[in-house]
Chains A and B, each alone.
Chain A
Amino acid sequence: TQLLEQSPQFLSIQEGENLTVYCNSSSVFSSLQWYRQEPGEGPVLLVTVVTGGEVKKLKRLTFQFGDARKDSSLHITAAQPGDTGLYLCAGAGGGTYKYIFGTGTRLKVLA
């Protein structure tokens, strides 16, 4: 069974600080996605990475897929209160498009 561990589980920071969230697994994924979820809502896709070593930027967010396609990171620069939410990585592998979600990182950015 594929397992995606995220760290940290919880993070509370001040506005303007930088942070990194990690998503790790012992399994290889054909693609990995990052989502953000707000309370009472479904997750919203932020990015999909498919190539080992790939780096994608989305404004203040930088996503990296590990060379071996077993891990990924999400870096947020100059965090803002609007970045508050539950961040989830999700990976698919084994020739399927069935995504398994990570354990989640709950971020709170204080003004």
Chain B
Amino acid sequence: GAVVSQHPSRVICKSGTSVKIECRSLDFQATTMFWYRQFPKQSLMLMATSNEGSKATYEQGVEKDKFLINHASLTLSTLTVTSAHPEDSSFYICSASEGQGGYGYTFGSGTRLTVV
């Protein structure tokens, strides 16, 4: 089945630094990937849609300059949290689908970001 790899699984960074999270589709090509954020014991909140070869589409209230998304190839999307602050600490998860997604998305295993 489809596999999505997310790296790193955990990262701790200092306030003011930037962190890059990678999302790779290992055995399929994904023109579209999605980035979610999840707070403890809460559901997933869609942050943005990552489109291969074009700009990402951000959900309302998500700062595009804060959360930079790059989808340079059909198998890789990256999310960079810039000038991180403690309130950016969260669980970030990506997802991708082989087709249009109508039959389910495969999720990465998530990245736990802690900003100190």
Residues of A bordering B, CB below 8 Å: 1, 30-31, 33, 35, 40-45, 48, 50, 88, 92, 97-104, 106
Contact = CB atoms under 8 A, between A and B. Distances in A.
Interface of B: 4, 6, 32, 34, 36, 41-46, 49, 60, 93, 95, 97, 100-110, 112
A74 B84 CA distance: 39
A92 B105 CA distance: 12
Given A98-B34, A98-B46, A104-B43, A41 B105 contact: no
B93 A104 contact: no
Contact of B44 (A30, A43, A44, A45): A43
A68 to B, nearest CB: 19
A57 B46 CA distance: 28
A92 B107 contact: no
Given A42-B108, A43-B107, A102 B101 contact: no
Contacts of A42: 4, 6, 93, 95, 107-110
A65 B6 CA distance: 31
A1 B46 CA distance: 12
A48 B34 contact: no
A106 B106 contact: no
Contacts of A100: 46
A98 B49 contact: yes
Contacts of B41: 106
Contacts of B95: 42
A35 B95 CA distance: 13
A44 B104 CA distance: 9
B48 to A, nearest CB: 10
B42 A104 contact: yes
B17 to A, nearest CB: 23
A92 B101 contact: yes
A9 B95 CA distance: 24
A73 B41 CA distance: 21
Contacts of B49: 98
B100 A97 contact: yes
